[in-house]
């Protein structure tokens, strides 16, 4: 499930970057791809760079990469919010005013928020790992509040015609700068996001001999993984649909359903007492995950 989830996220990254570059490249005056570049041509442009990034096997610079990614996203959200609020506000476009469409957003929310499987490497890279839990709580709480406000502003400002890649609606030099920053963010965070899946793929080839895989074989595995994602992105060029299914199904299973099951079965196996409050928490997490999966598929 980890490999499948990371593969889906890689496809989403590629589609986002390709769709963004389709707008940025002509705006920069680059004519090599014509007046209207295709998704395939943009994937061919960024694909080799993504493959090269997948070859990175050491995550020593994760803190710096995270800071750059956070800064670029913050700038992008600020500019996008300002642009949205400068338009006539369409309060009827808010999800709470169109409840029938609201469940369809569960997959996208899960994709953006259920990234817990990437946290192990982040904790290991922290100078003070003992402060991880407090930092994670603050980060998730702050992200939820900021993202909620950002979503309301975007829905009210852009209305029902908003693009699934919202930054493509920005115009002028500031718009191009934001789009390039977000592409840089995805490129810089790709090695972090995909690292667990790439290592799992390498471990499969190693079998019962850990460390036996050589550099050429490891690079071949990583190249095949990313190249497969590039091919998939070229054939499924709908960012919203990919986000919905990867987030609603894969991320929900990996971050909510399986952890709850593992905790419950482990407690049973060691014959540890599960108090009612703990059982309620485990059940609540499990049911939340199943709900997200059902909503993302059915709706």
pLDDT for position 117: 73
pLDDT for position 140: 87
pLDDT for position 282: 94
Does residue 262 contact residue 286 with C-beta atoms inside 8 Å?
no
Return the ∠ at Cα 137 (arms to 127 and 14), rounded to 5°.
Answer: 80
Give DSSP secondary structure letters for 245-257: HIIIIIIHIIIII
pLDDT for position 100: 64
Query: Per residue in 247-293, pLDDT tens?
Result: 788 888 888 899 999 999 999 999 888 899 999 999 999 998 898 88
Could you list the pLDDT tens digit for every one of the 299 residues in the chain? 888 888 888 888 888 888 888 888 888 878 777 778 888 889 998 999 999 988 887 766 666 776 777 788 888 888 889 988 998 888 776 666 556 665 556 666 777 778 777 777 677 777 888 999 999 899 889 988 998 898 888 888 888 777 766 777 777 887 888 888 888 888 877 887 888 888 888 888 887 777 677 888 889 999 999 999 999 888 876 666 777 778 788 888 888 899 999 999 999 999 888 899 999 999 999 998 898 888 777 76
Q: How far is CA 78 from CA 66, 87, 143, in A?
A: 18, 15, 14
Q: Which two tokens stand for residue 285?
A: 């997490």
Number of H-type helices and E-type strands within the chain: 12, 0
What are 52-58's contacts with CB under 8 Å, separation 24+? 53/187, 53/190, 53/191, 54/190, 54/191, 54/194, 54/198, 54/222, 54/223, 54/225, 54/226, 55/219, 55/222, 55/223, 56/191, 57/218
Measured in Å, how far apart are the chain's first and last C-alpha atoms? Answer: 22
């Amino acid at each position: 499930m980890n490999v499948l989830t990371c593969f889906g996220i890689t496809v989403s990254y590629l589609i986002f970057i390709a769709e963004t570059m389709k707008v940025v490249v002509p705006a920069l005056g680059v004519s090599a791809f014509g007046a209207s570049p295709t998704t395939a041509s943009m994937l061919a442009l960024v694909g080799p760079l993504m493959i090269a990034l997948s070859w990175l096997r050491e995550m020593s610079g994760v803190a710096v990469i995270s800071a750059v990614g956070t800064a670029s996203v913050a700038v992008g959200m600020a500019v996008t919010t300002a642009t949205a609020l400068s338009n006539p506000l369409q309060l009827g476009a808010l999800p709470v005013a169109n409840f029938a469409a609201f469940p369809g957003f569960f997959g996208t929310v899960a994709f953006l928020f259920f990234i817990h499987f990437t946290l192990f490497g982040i904790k290991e890279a922290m100078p003070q790992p003992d402060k991880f839990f407090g930092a994670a709580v603050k980060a998730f709480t702050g992200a939820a509040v900021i993202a909620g406000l950002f979503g309301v502003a975007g829905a009210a400002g852009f209305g029902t015609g908003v693009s699934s890649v919202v930054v493509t609606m920005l115009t002028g030099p500031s718009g191009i700068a934001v789009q390039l920053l977000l592409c840089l963010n995805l490129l810089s965070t790709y090695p972090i996001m995909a690292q667990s899946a790439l290592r799992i793929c390498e471990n499969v080839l190693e079998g019962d001999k850990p460390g036996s895989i050589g550099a050429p074989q490891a690079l071949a595995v990583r190249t095949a993984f990313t190249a497969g994602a590039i091919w998939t992105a070229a054939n499924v060029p709908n960012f919203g649909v990919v986000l919905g299914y990867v987030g609603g199904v894969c991320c929900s299973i990996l971050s909510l359903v399986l952890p709850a099951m593992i905790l419950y079965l482990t407690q049973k196996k060691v014959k540890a007492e599960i108090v009612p409050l703990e059982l309620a928490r485990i059940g609540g997490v499990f049911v939340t995950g199943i709900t997200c999966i059902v909503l993302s598929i059915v709706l």
